Chain A
Amino acid sequence: MSYVIVLFPGHRDVYIDDQSQGSNVAASGKPRALFVNAGVHIFRLGGTPDVEPPSQRVDVPERPILDPFRVVFTQCP
């Protein structure tokens, strides 16, 4: 059992292993914590292909909800 937040400057759909998990950002504008099982997953974002990296393979460690694991994407200039 683990939790992740996916950081990106904007609202995007988060895909974990090609399954849509909904938006990375809540209505409040804060990053949204997502349920995920620990271990390797492929993360990518939907929408315009202006994301770096386009996808990333991440070995998610076990994390409590108070300290979610961070997966970071940046926006290409």
Chain B
Amino acid sequence: MKAGRVLAALLAAALAAGCAGPVNPPLKAYDLAAGYRYANARLDAAEEELFVILAFSGGGTRAAAFSYGVLEGLRRIVYQPAAGGPRTLLQDVDVISSVSGGSFTAAHYALFGVEGFKRFEDDFLYQNIQGQLVARALAPWSWARLLRADYSRIDLAADLYDEKVFGHATFGDLLASTRRAPYLLLNATDMTSGARFEFTQDQFDLLCSDLSQVPVARAVAASSAFPILLSPMTLHNHRGEPCESFRPPTWLTSALQSSSQPRRLALAQNLMSYRERVAERPFVHLLDGGLADNIGLRGPYVALSGQDSAWSIYTKINQRKIRHVLVITANAKTGRDPGWDARQSPPGVVDVLGLVTTGPMGNYSFETVQLIADHFTALTNELASLRACERMAKEQCASFEMPFEAPAPVTFHAVELAFDKVVGDPRLRDCLEGLATSFHLPAPQVTLLRQVAQQLLLSSPDLRAAMATIAPGWQPGEGAAIDPSLVAAACSPS
């Protein structure tokens, strides 16, 4: 009888809570001049000869703190460009692409800049977000909402992030910001296709939806919706006017005809499936971006390797806008040997589940980092071979002239920061490799991750080589020191 009254009260509360509006409202009209797109978010004047892309991996608070340390490190790199006064490398960041835990740092920085650094530490990095999520889920007033068909654990998480971390900011607010902010690519995974889903208006055009009214926290929640622990986030794929007037961008139409390029064709077919199969797919379910790409580099790779992107790097090079491309990846992967092979008995169910949910992500991330590095090497070698050919031809015949002009001289640099780059301190490296994937880490571990990221960045041979080309006068300062007492506090078994 008592249980019945409780159930009735919950149902009444659920009805009183009403139905939520669509998470992603429909578009009123297609308009390339509106919405969170690269061309609208980044003014031409904000682009410099140096184009910097940051990629932040997944890994809960571990990834958020590590990527935050990278931002802090970039702020410490001050150099003198050819024109204007001294500037930091952080000021040169054009795009941040992120997944899961890294998305918290990326979104907060894009919204609030360095002015928001302290707030990010107080509101997220050093908070027990996981505990707050559990407390909300267990609170009786949440049960009523969780009974609704249109509200689930991921919505609860999004509401928490919206209130506590992102101050109810929407993508419209992000676009309206007049500050020189980097373009933000928050990546989730489409459960049906298994493909990357980015929170940009270009992607939302395909859902006939207006991203401007979507809270940034929702995108971050979708990007970090770790399977099983959090439910998928559901978006509406809208129909009716003006959706029927959708015209795909020309590159998408071209890619759909590129049967000789299977990767390009598959990307285009996947994107067009939202519109072409809208009757069968009125909803889209999103999970953690790490399932499609746990390093956040697949979107940048498309932009770096062709014209099939709203911010194609090839196009910018052809337009002679940029001369240096620098990609910095903050990869918070862990890889401590679990010791399974020391025992005859096979790993248990929890270990197997852990492996199948994270193992493929790690392997794929390694391949993606290599893909970018190999692409840069190939581009550099191509340009070098052209110069070598011209030089050799002139040696044979002084009057030789190449029949065409080479592409603009561009240098390409890739820097990967990861725990396996820690050298000279096996204990520290082992400690980092063993850090948990959670939305709560002890304060010493958070501070340690920030210091390690700065130390890795400032001492990176790849970064130093890049800076020697980008700003020949730049002198590396002292590397960031890691406090030994902090290592002891963060790495001692609790």
Contact = CB atoms under 8 A, between A and B. Distances in A.
Contacts of B306: 36-37
A40 B386 CA distance: 25
B114 to A, nearest CB: 33
B407 A3 contact: yes
B318 A1 contact: no
A31 to B, nearest CB: 5
Contacts of A5: 404
A51 interface: no
Contacts of A40: 254-255, 257-258
| Chain A interface helix/strand/loop/mixed | strand
Contacts of B402: 30
Give the size range of A's interface with the partner: 20 to 34
A33 B405 contact: yes
Interface in B379-404: 379, 382-383, 385-386, 389, 401-404
B290 to A, nearest CB: 26
B393 to A, nearest CB: 11
B386 A32 contact: no
A65 B255 contact: no
Q: Which of A16, A19, A33 has the most CB of B within 10 A?
A: A19
Given A37-B306, A39-B258, A68 B379 contact: no
Contacts of B312: 19
Interface string A14-35: 1011111110001010111111
Contacts of B406: 33, 65
Contacts of A20: 315, 319
A40 B401 CA distance: 31
A26 B315 contact: no
Contacts of B246: none
Contacts of B315: 16, 19-21
A58 to B, nearest CB: 9
Contacts, number: 104
Nearest to B306: A37
Interface in A52-75: 57, 59, 61, 64-66, 68
A34 B408 CA distance: 9
B255 to A, nearest CB: 7
B378 interface: yes
A41 interface: yes
Q: Which of B261, B317, B320, B401 has the most CB of A within 10 A?
A: B261
B325 to A, nearest CB: 12
A37 B320 contact: no
Contact of B250 (A30, A38, A42): A42
Contacts of A36: 306-307, 314
Nearest to B378: A1
B386 A34 contact: no
Given A28-B405, A30-B403, A41-B307, A65 B317 contact: no
A30 B404 contact: yes
A65 B402 CA distance: 12
A3 B407 CA distance: 9
Contacts of B91: none
Contacts of A64: 382, 385
A66 B385 contact: yes
B283 interface: no
28 contacts: A1-B379, A1-B382, A5-B404, A19-B250, A19-B307, A22-B318, A22-B320, A28-B405, A30-B403, A30-B404, A30-B405, A33-B404, A33-B406, A33-B407, A35-B314, A35-B407, A36-B307, A37-B264, A37-B314, A39-B254, A39-B264, A41-B251, A41-B307, A42-B254, A59-B258, A64-B382, A65-B386, A65-B407
Interface of B: 249-251, 253-255, 257-258, 260-261, 264-265, 305-308, 312, 314-315, 317-320, 375, 378-379, 382-383, 385-386, 389, 401-407
